[in-house]
Amino acid sequence: MKTILITGATAGFGEAAARKFVAGGWRAIGTGRRGERLKALQEELGDPFLPLEIDMRDRAAVESLADLSPPWGDVDLLLNNAGLAPPTDPLPETDWERIETVIETNITGLVALTRMLLPKLVERKGQIINLSSVAATYPYKGGAVYAGTKAFVRQFSLDLRCDLAGSGVRVTSVEPGMAETEFTIVRTGGDKEASDKLYAGMDPMTPEDLADLFWWLANLPPHLNINTVELMPVSQSFAGFTINREG
Ligand code: NDP
Ligand code: 8X3
């Protein structure tokens, strides 16, 4: 029985991944700040799911994930999924605490966890899937901090492959476009209406689409490494450059 560690399993991609992998016969450790959500998921998924209430900004708690005893400690796949975005307001108008939370979650927590878990993943010839975003590649207004963190995740993933050469450990940067989760509700500070409006009439990707992708990546033959996967709903594409002709 294989074990996946999923950060951010209380909603969206992480929650769908927990369901997918447990249904597929894996053990899943799921983390997040919302203990009630984790408890509900544990009740739904039963013994193969271990809920751990951990804030990615709490470095000691994050690092303690590398100290779990077997079988939970025998992690085969690290899904670095927990993440969020600040509002798309201009940078000077964006609350510093929200910016700091995003950087500490999307970058610092992810690196701290990966660093501590790497020896175990090397021992088990395991796999890492990191959640980057199309925002890492395609700039948009108001995206600077979020996109910056996701560009970090993409490059971190690629460079980690260099360090891991010969180890058998696989690393993939997954770079999705618009998927309807709680992402925009969180980004807008709880504005469900704004979130509904953003996804209205455009057939966004679903958490299950992403869980299917993670499952495919996890079940590839061990000699294959998918470096990056960029995916979007058909109804999302590119806007091109902005030209300012006024000076
Ligand atoms: P959701 O908001 O639905 O889920 C985010 C998850 O991250 C939740 O489980 C949340 O748990 C967890 N999380 C956030 N901050 C922290 C923290 N400080 N400590 C612990 N857990 C945290 O978003 P998605 O499922 O859409 O997003 C998952 C990942 O995919 C993110 O990294 C996001 O940037 C990325 N992504 C999303 C896209 C989209 O369009 N939805 C597209 C591209 C990338 P809790 O709040 O309980 O702590
Ligand atoms: C989230 C996707 O396009 O809203 O990473 O930045 S997008």
pLDDT at 211 over 80: yes
Give all strands of the β-sheet with 170-176 in edge-to-edge order: 49-53, 27-32, 3-6, 77-80, 127-131, 170-176, 228-231
End-to-end CA distance of the chain: 63
Alpha carbon nearest to ligand 2 atom 6, residue: 135
User: Measured from the CB, is residue 178 less than 6 Å from ligand 2?
Assistant: yes
Active-site entry in 138, 140, 146, 199? 146
- Predicted structure pTM score: 0.98
Q: Which residues contact 177 (CB under 8 A, 6 or more apart)?
A: 133, 134, 205, 231, 232, 233, 236
Asked whether residue 161 is domain-assigned, the answer is yes
Closest listed residue to residue 75, CA positions, set 14, 128, 112, 36: 128
Pick from 160, 162, 64, 164: nearest CA to 124: 164
The domain that holds 134 is classified in CATH as 3.40.50.720
Domain membership of residue 50 (yes or no) is yes
Q: In the annotation, is 138 catalytic? A: no
Do 127 and 217 contact (CB within 8 A), yes or no? yes
Domain membership of residue 135 (yes or no) is yes
For residue 244, the SS3 value is: coil
If one counts the domains in the chain, the total is 1
State the average pLDDT for the chain.
Answer: 98
Omega of the bond leading into 233 within 30 degrees of 0 (cis): no
pLDDT 10s digits, 94-110? 999 999 999 999 999 99
Asked if residue 247 has pLDDT above 90, the reply is no
Q: Is residue 200 part of a domain?
A: yes
- pLDDT tens column, 118-157: 999 999 999 999 999 999 999 999 999 999 999 999 999 9
The pLDDT of residue 55: 98
Helix/strand/coil for 60: helix
**The token pair that represents 8 in the structure block:** 């951010």
What's the CA-to-centroid distance between 151 and ligand 1, angstroms?
Answer: 16
Q: What is d(CA 219, CA 200) in angstroms, rounded to the nearest whole number? A: 33
Q: Is 131 in the pocket of ligand 1 (CB under 6 A)?
A: yes
**In this predicted model, what pLDDT tens digit does every residue of 154-181 receive, in sequence order?**
999 999 999 999 999 999 999 999 999 9
Each residue of 7-30: pLDDT tens digit?
A: 999 999 999 999 999 999 999 999
pLDDT value, residue 246:
85
Could you list the beta-strand ranges (E) of 62-106. Answer: 77-80
Q: Do the domain assignments include residue 171?
A: yes
CA 144 – CA 116 distance, rounded (Å): 29
Q: Print the domain residue range for 85.
A: 3-231
Question: Is residue 243 in some structural domain?
Answer: no
Whether residue 242 is contained in a domain is answered as no
